[in-house]
Chain A
Amino acid sequence: MVWVNAIVQGILVGGLYALFAAGLSLIFGVMRLVNIAHGDLIVLAAYMALTCVTLTDLNPLLAIFVVAPFSALAGYAFQRLLFNRTLGADILPPLLVSFGLSVIIQNALLQIYSADSRKLNAGGIEIASIPIVQGLSIGVLPLLMFVTAILTIGALQFMFYATPLGRALRATSDDQDVARLMGYDNKHLYAIAMAISLAVVAIAGIFLAVRTNFDPALGPQRLIFGFEAVIIGGLGNLWGTLAGGVILGVAQALGAMIDPGWQLLAGHLVFLAILAFRPEGLFPRVDG
């Protein structure tokens, strides 16, 4: 039963990893940009929520409604002012600019909030759980996290494949020049995509902050978890990304059962194994 419990908790944490991954995957799909600062932006969102909660006494989970719109706006501005200038045939500028941004955010957080680890307290919901059978119960918070992940990915999927905005984003991703011929404003669309990505980042950041302690140096590892979920699931498939996150979560939970030091290693090894034996991921998108 200990093992079943580990697997169940791993699945639920996988939802959080899928949230880390969804924004990353969206940006890459639309403009082939890999945002190295993605993890640091998640941590930044966690700190924004912390500030918001300290100032207003709001419940951390409700802070989403403040942080997400703010984060989205910042994403739009970031894209217009920074990343749009770097996009082109050469992959170096966007990569190095986002890497620079990552270092800047980390050290700015360190300056403002110090290296101490923090946590957001969401109150009673944190310890509430639903007993399933003897020795196995599901925490309300992890469950809420997982359901949020499914809803978020479902919403992204709907936006991408069933709305005019999604059609525009896919068209721009397919062929920039021809999209402009249709009157699409690529720079605006990229900024919208970044705004959506950062709204998802805000959701992920708040759940991160409620679930565990966080500090300014945590970003790169969140980027790596998100990235691993994307590759395990297969590029360009949002539901695959959810599956990738779940597989990563379960692998880490099982690794931790063997030895606490193996928690992260087990996740990385699953990722490397996928890369070695199924580099296109488990559920690659099939193009028509």
Chain B
Amino acid sequence: MSGPAFTIARATPESRIALVFALLGLLALATGPYWMDRNSMRLVGEFLIYLGLASLWNLLAGYAGLVSVGQQAYVGFGGYVLFGCAMFLGVPPLLAVPIAGATAALLSIPVSYLVFRLKGAYFAIGTWVVAEVFMLLASQWQAMGGGSGVSLPIAIVRSIGSTRDMREQMIYWTTLGVTVAVLIAVYLLLRSRWGLALQAIRDSEVAAESSGVSVASAKRLLYVVACAGAAMIGSLIFMAKLRISPSSAFSVNDWTAFVIFITVIGGIGRIEGPVIGTILFFLLRETLSDLGASYLIVLGCVAVAIMLFAPKGIWGLVQDKFGWQLFPVGRRLILNTNKEGA
């Protein structure tokens, strides 16, 4: 043997192209307020919110095997932290976003010790119970209007931006910033030794524990990150809505069902899945919006069909066909043959 017969690489040709496209897209989105109208901006803001929530849920369910049906607990929690901080502590709303993330992270640790006692599918319902408890407690918070909720006082709304346009721009940029931060955090976490250990376990039982990383603490880390992210996104959702109530803040349909469908349709356990899923979700929604409640039926049927016939989702199908890896997490082994390929 004259030299190493292999090289180790993470980047793929298509991942370099994807990076260029991602940066161009980011640039387009960042300058959005200068070229989009109000409705498009609102739509893009919502798109970013679902992209962030779906990426976080994918991190939990697709990589850590923690199928939560209760992430609305943290979305609502983030919303209530924002309203609480702004209304009673005089914290500027935008500053309340990281506070929502930090407090949610702190809260999610004791919660994780409870719900992690439930395995597999029972974990799912356990997280749902926690979300119900959060909602019931919020309903008891009389200063926040109890069960009927509360609107953000005008003075606080003005403090975000003096005009409506300025306010919506500020919220838009913050949403973009938080979503990009969430996506980078998810990507870095999956590339870290904790993320790689969890993927090793998911992909092969033999590899379990051999990486020297405690599976339990890796899962807990991912859970805490997912909860903090959901809370930050939650605070932004209700900053844009200017109004919060327990039923909207802790809605299982809005903050979990849609998110699960997005991830399943796009491709669960694949970092690209939520991106594809969110795009498809918005395309479907814009074309089927006049269907009303049947829209959810159609979406549910599509998700069930995908789970039955293409459990790796749309992106899984693409990957099987072309072998693309746009945002590679793991390293690949490339055997050097005589014919040095590209």
Binding site for B on A (CB under 8 A): 28, 32-34, 36, 82, 85-86, 90-97, 99-101, 103-104, 106-108, 110-111, 220-221, 223-224, 227-228, 231, 261, 264-265, 268-269, 271-272, 275-276, 279
Contacts and interface: CB of A to CB of B under 8 A. Distances in A.
A122 B179 CA distance: 54
Contact of B301 (A85, A104, A106, A220): A104
B163 interface: no
B120 A34 contact: yes
Contacts of A224: 125, 128-129, 132
Contacts of B125: 34, 36, 223-224, 227
A135 B287 CA distance: 60
Contacts of A268: 129, 132-133, 136
Given A86-B308, A100-B301, A275 B126 contact: yes
Contacts of B130: 272
A94 to B, nearest CB: 7
A99 B120 CA distance: 14
A283 B118 CA distance: 16
Contacts of A220: 128, 252
A108 B117 contact: no
Tell me which of B65, B117, B124, B261 has the highest count of chain A C-beta atoms within 10 A of its own C-beta: B124
Contacts of A227: 122, 125, 129
Contact of A103 (B128, B133, B137, B253): B253
Interface of B: 61, 65, 67, 69, 114-115, 117-118, 120-122, 124-126, 128-130, 132-133, 136-137, 139-140, 252-253, 257, 260-261, 264, 268, 292-294, 296-297, 299-301, 303-304, 307-308, 311
22 contacts: A34-B122, A36-B121, A86-B307, A91-B121, A92-B268, A103-B253, A103-B257, A103-B297, A107-B293, A111-B292, A111-B294, A227-B122, A227-B129, A261-B136, A268-B129, A268-B132, A268-B133, A271-B129, A272-B133, A275-B114, A275-B115, A275-B117
B139 A272 contact: no
A200 to B, nearest CB: 18
Interface of A is mostly: helix
A265 B67 CA distance: 24
Nearest to A114: B293
B312 to A, nearest CB: 11
Nearest to B120: A91
A119 B250 CA distance: 27
Contact of A272 (B129, B257, B297): B129
Contacts of B139: 261
Given A95-B120, A96-B67, A106-B296, 18 more contacts: A32-B121, A82-B308, A85-B308, A91-B67, A91-B120, A92-B307, A93-B308, A96-B264, A96-B303, A99-B124, A100-B307, A220-B128, A264-B136, A265-B136, A265-B140, A268-B132, A272-B114, A272-B129
Nearest to B202: A90
A90 B125 CA distance: 17
Given A36-B124, A96-B260, A101-B304, A269 B133 contact: yes
B308 A104 contact: no
Contacts of A104: 296-297, 300-301, 304
Nearest to A89: B205
B117 A93 contact: no
B122 A264 contact: no
A32 B120 CA distance: 10
Contact of A97 (B124, B129, B293, B307): B307
Given A96-B260, A275-B114, A108 B297 contact: yes
A86 B115 CA distance: 25
Nearest to B122: A34
Given A36-B124, A95-B121, A111 B133 contact: no
A100 B304 contact: yes
A264 B300 contact: no
B291 to A, nearest CB: 10
Contact of B129 (A95, A111, A228): A228
Contacts of B118: 231, 275
